[in-house]
Structure 1
Amino acid sequence: MRSQPILPLLLAIRAATATPLYPFRFSPEYAEAQKLADPTYGPIPGESDIYNTYWGLDRPFPGNISGPIFPTECGPPGVDDWTWQNLLSAEWLIFEFYQQGVERFSPEDFVAAGLPETTHRRLLEIRNNEAGHLRIFQNQISPTSVKPGSCKYAFPFTEPIGYLALMTVLEISSMAFLTGLVQQPEIAAGRGAMLAIAEVETRHEVWALMDIWKANPFGGPSDTIFPYANEVLDSTNAFIVPGSCPPENPEFPHPRQRLPGLSAGKDTASLTPGSKISLDFPDPNNQPIFNNHTVYYAVFFHGVLNVSVPIDTSKWPQEEMWVTIPEAFETKGVIVACVADLPGAPTKENIVAGPAVILEQPAKLATALLHGGAEK
């Protein structure tokens, strides 16, 4: 059964309750977005080939409709709505990243950079997949909650190799955050849906590793599990133009800890297991605070395990803090590092800085990005 038309329903609710659900905007953009409240409206992922074989540069549905979708029913939010709202907000960013890439660079640009002639077409196909994810996530949010719209995004790439380097970081980071996110839904079908999306993202990652970087795509017997997905999502706020999100959008991510960022210092020579790295907190306006009576640890997550290494914070910030990446780790997949006040970071509240995502495949790309560039 189709949903009721949104405008009459909102007016009826407003009349009955004397308070609006949301300040409905009478504009063509927002009226068009409200059509998306009906899950049968437009091409349906899994049924329409638009999400696989559309080769145009215009934004595919529903990426061409950027406004938030207001609730169409009264009542409490669904038990997993916050999780799906977080994922939808992140998906808008990923969709826009691919959309900007296929618009900015032509097939000839990629070929001239020494990349396979199929690169642009593969990016279009990934862009189409991400549009399908938008629609899937919109439909997972209950009709009693707002479905976030798109913000404006700015990505730090100027040429094809830099673009594909950032793509690799985003795709491999998504594997780490999805292993945490899939633990959040209370409804089993939601966990299944997230696993299905993660499998598609893995295919994107494997393509980049094999075709672009000529690297072995196998990441060992297990991808890295990082249990605190929202902390990875929070790092993507760096790509959002401040003040550009629709005011109706919920906080992203929710709940948001606003932890200090963490990265290896630029004087680090290698990011492979056994390497000694300096710890850097790049945001001067958000620095960690260390208690002199507390022992802190660099916690490294890799595969299904994590290893904690004590760090000396007593001379920071006058002197850099250095730590060795556990030598026992295989040089595969990705390592996620954070600073915590207990070994293993048993809860998200124990993390005081991070996380940082450290690529192990291709390892040379991770080091190149740390030093300000990317090479084929």
Structure 2
Amino acid sequence: MILLNAFFLSAFLHSTAYSAAISSHDKSSAQKLADPNYGPIPGQSSLYSSYRGKAPPFPGNITDPIAPTAKGPPGTDDLVWQNLLSAEWVIFSFYQQAVEMFNETAFAEAGYPNTTYDRIQEIRDNEAGHLRIFQNEITPTSVKPGACKYAFPFDNPTSFLALATLIEISSMTFLTGLVQMAKLPASQGAMTAIAATETRHETWALLDIWKTNPFGGPSDTVFPYANQILDVTNVFIVPKSCPSENPVYPSPRQNLPPFSPARSTKSITPGSNIALNFTDPTNQPSFRKGVQYYATFFHGPSNISVPIDTTNWPREDIKVRIPPHFEARGIILAVIADTVGAPILATVKAGPVVLLEQPAELGLLVS
């Protein structure tokens, strides 16, 4: 019933480790990418919007890391851009696999508009452009991460589109966090521009695919700890498949215990009661005796913390009510914290989980 749990548990059972189709292990080709003027330039070339084809577009066809070409300290925002580039390899590869796996007929026969496959290719092209932008933002003194091998748990158009919707709306949220982590105004502006593009992708999906109102209220959800969302994407990375030159992803990495609403959940709209399911048996939370913990829910520009009882866990489920104060639009993002409001990174002890409110029926499926 809870599709995302099934996604995580079955990623390596029901999908192939995707990398061979986009691999290029010619390190000399990768080093050419160190020159920001090499190849089509985003914003100037139509490649990143109008290319149509099964083969991966530049620079997605060159997957090796790009070694530093200068000595010296890393650039001010290099770490943030390295994290974002590693995340972008996941997202680009996700769309590239769909382009290779499906065609226009597959989406039409599944009941989606005839333009769906064309839009998927265009989004794939946009994501290729993001790869190049992020590569160029990392200064010459730092490595530019390459692609890993990935396993994505979809085998039909509907499961792909459901996961795509969650990925796009999560991208909008982690970008609001990365903007806060970046120190240079130019970096903050570039990330805001990328977030606007992701918003366009999500708006298309909500209107054309799910036939729902795309408006999420006056503000999308702001979440300050982007790396915690990025860490969730590690579930799609085949263990030990990343280039040895790549930095830890994300860096710094907390490796927090993940959780989701339990399978018995009937609704994730504001005011609903949910039980928490900690989904990784090898990474379970540790609750200290005598400490009050909270489920902190982020929605729009604010958050609300609800006390939770951890005394009898794991013998008894931890239950909490999603704050009824929130408007049932956009997304709600929840973490477990030991301080009201989760004011600093160290106060977050588990999560996050993304609760998709639009469309509500899809939100319950993928939470």
Question: Is 1:173 paired with 2:170?
Answer: yes
Q: Quick one: distance in 1 between partners of 2:94 and 2:153?
A: 10
Q: Quick one: distance in 1 between partners of 2:271 and 2:102?
A: 38
What residue is the counterpart of 1:12 in the other structure?
none
| Larger of the two Rg values belongs to structure | 1
Question: Is 1:79 paired with 2:76?
Answer: yes
SS at match of 1:291: coil
What residue is the counterpart of 2:216 in the other structure?
219
What residue is the counterpart of 2:3 in the other structure?
none
Q: Quick one: distance in 1 between partners of 2:366 and 2:226?
A: 23
Q: Is the 8 A contact 2:295 2:334 kept in 1?
A: yes
What residue is the counterpart of 2:148 in the other structure?
151
Q: Quick one: distance in 1 between partners of 2:287 and 2:194?
A: 39
Which residue identity is paired with 2:252? Answer: P
Structure 1 segments unaligned to the other structure (5+ residues): 1-26, 371-376
Q: Quick one: distance in 1 between partners of 2:122 and 2:243?
A: 28
User: 1:175 Cα deviation (Å)?
Assistant: 1.1
Q: 1:264 aligns with which of 261, 264, 270?
A: 261
So what's the TM-score if we normalise by structure 1?
Answer: 0.91
Q: Quick one: distance in 1 between partners of 2:99 and 2:158?
A: 13
Q: Is the 8 A contact 2:178 2:226 kept in 1?
A: yes
Residues 167-316 of structure 1 mapped to structure 2, 5 A cutoff: 167-316=164-313
So what's the TM-score if we normalise by structure 2?
Answer: 0.93
Which residue identity is paired with 2:203? Answer: V
Structure 2 segments unaligned to the other structure (5+ residues): 1-23
SS at match of 1:178: helix
Q: Quick one: distance in 1 between partners of 2:356 and 2:183?
A: 31
SS at match of 1:37: coil
What residue is the counterpart of 2:96 in the other structure?
99
Which residue identity is paired with 1:144? Answer: T
Residues 357-372 of structure 1 mapped to structure 2, 5 A cutoff: 357-370=354-367
Q: Is the 8 A contact 2:293 2:339 kept in 1?
A: yes
Q: Quick one: distance in 1 between partners of 2:156 and 2:44?
A: 35
User: Relative to structure 1, is the Cα distance of residues 28 and 290 closer, same or farther in structure 2, using a 3 angstrom cutoff?
Assistant: closer
Q: 2:105 aligns with which of 98, 108, 113?
A: 108
Q: Which has the higher contact order (CA 8 A, sep 6+)?
A: 2
Q: Quick one: distance in 2 between partners of 1:79 and 1:350?
A: 26
Sequence identity percentage:
62
Q: Quick one: distance in 2 between partners of 1:178 and 1:185?
A: 10
What residue is the counterpart of 1:11 in the other structure?
none
Q: Is the 8 A contact 2:25 2:63 kept in 1?
A: no
Structure 1, residues 31-69: CA drift from partner, whole Å, max 9, x if none? 110000000000000100000111111110000000000
Structure 1, residues 74-116: CA drift from partner, whole Å, max 9, x if none? 1111011000000000000000000000111111000010000
Q: Is the 8 A contact 2:25 2:64 kept in 1?
A: no
Residues 38-49 of structure 1 mapped to structure 2, 5 A cutoff: 38-49=35-46
Q: Quick one: distance in 1 between partners of 2:238 and 2:273?
A: 35
Q: Quick one: distance in 2 between partners of 1:167 and 1:292?
A: 40
Q: 1:118 aligns with which of 111, 115, 120?
A: 115
What residue is the counterpart of 2:9 in the other structure?
none
Which residue identity is paired with 1:314? Answer: T
Cα RMSD (Å): 0.9
Q: Is the 8 A contact 2:166 2:366 kept in 1?
A: no
Q: 1:129 aligns with which of 126, 129, 136?
A: 126
User: 1:257 Cα deviation (Å)?
Assistant: 0.3
Structure 1, residues 183-206: CA drift from partner, whole Å, max 9, x if none? 111111010000000000000000
